[in-house]
Amino acid sequence: MSLDKSFDPRAVEQRWYRRWEDAGWFAAGAEPGKPAFCIQLPPPNVTGVLHMGHAFNQTIMDALTRYHRMRGNNTLWLPGTDHAGIATQIVVERQLEQQGASRHDLGREGFIAKVWEWKAQSGSTITQQMRRMGDSCDWSR
């Protein structure tokens, strides 16, 4: 039997992740009388993709949330959303510059549409990255 030089976790993770999600193992607890534990995931900027600093931070929050969930506490790890409008605006303006355009060329409504388009693209990438890093987060909210 020969082993690959590096492990590709995608096939294994997809199978187990779906099973855990279907079983509700990521859902927040809400049983009266039990101690509560909550962390709000700081919202990442939608200016790109997550980096190792995010992974480290989320690993700690994931471990703390799992620990409290395993102790029987009502737990909630609440994911945040983007808050960096100015930084996002700059990213979109730079993209337009590369295309030889500016926000003024698009007008207010056109530029806002471009920003929302970028937010959907970058934000969904970040959300998927966060889901893979933070399995104990309650994504149903």
Q: Which domain holds residue 100?
A: 36-133
The predicted pLDDT at position 86 comes to 79
* Distance (Å, whole) CA 62 – CA 141: 17
Tokens of 35: 């101690």
Tokens of 132: 């893979």
Q: Does the residue 7 lie in any domain?
A: no
Q: Does the residue 74 lie in any domain?
A: yes
Q: What is the CA radius of gyration of the chain?
A: 19
Q: Does the residue 82 lie in any domain?
A: yes
Q: What is the mean pLDDT of residues 73-89?
A: 78
The predicted pLDDT at position 104 comes to 94
Q: Does the residue 90 lie in any domain?
A: yes
Is the entire prediction scored with pTM above 0.75?
no
Q: Does the residue 113 lie in any domain?
A: yes
pLDDT band at 48 (very low <50, low <70, confident <90, very high): low
Q: Does the residue 29 lie in any domain?
A: no
Helix, strand or coil for residue 141? Answer: coil
- Count CB neighbours of 41 within 10 A: 20
Average pLDDT taken over every residue of the chain: 80
Tokens of 20: 């855990």
Q: Does the residue 53 lie in any domain?
A: yes
* For residue 49, pLDDT beyond 50: yes
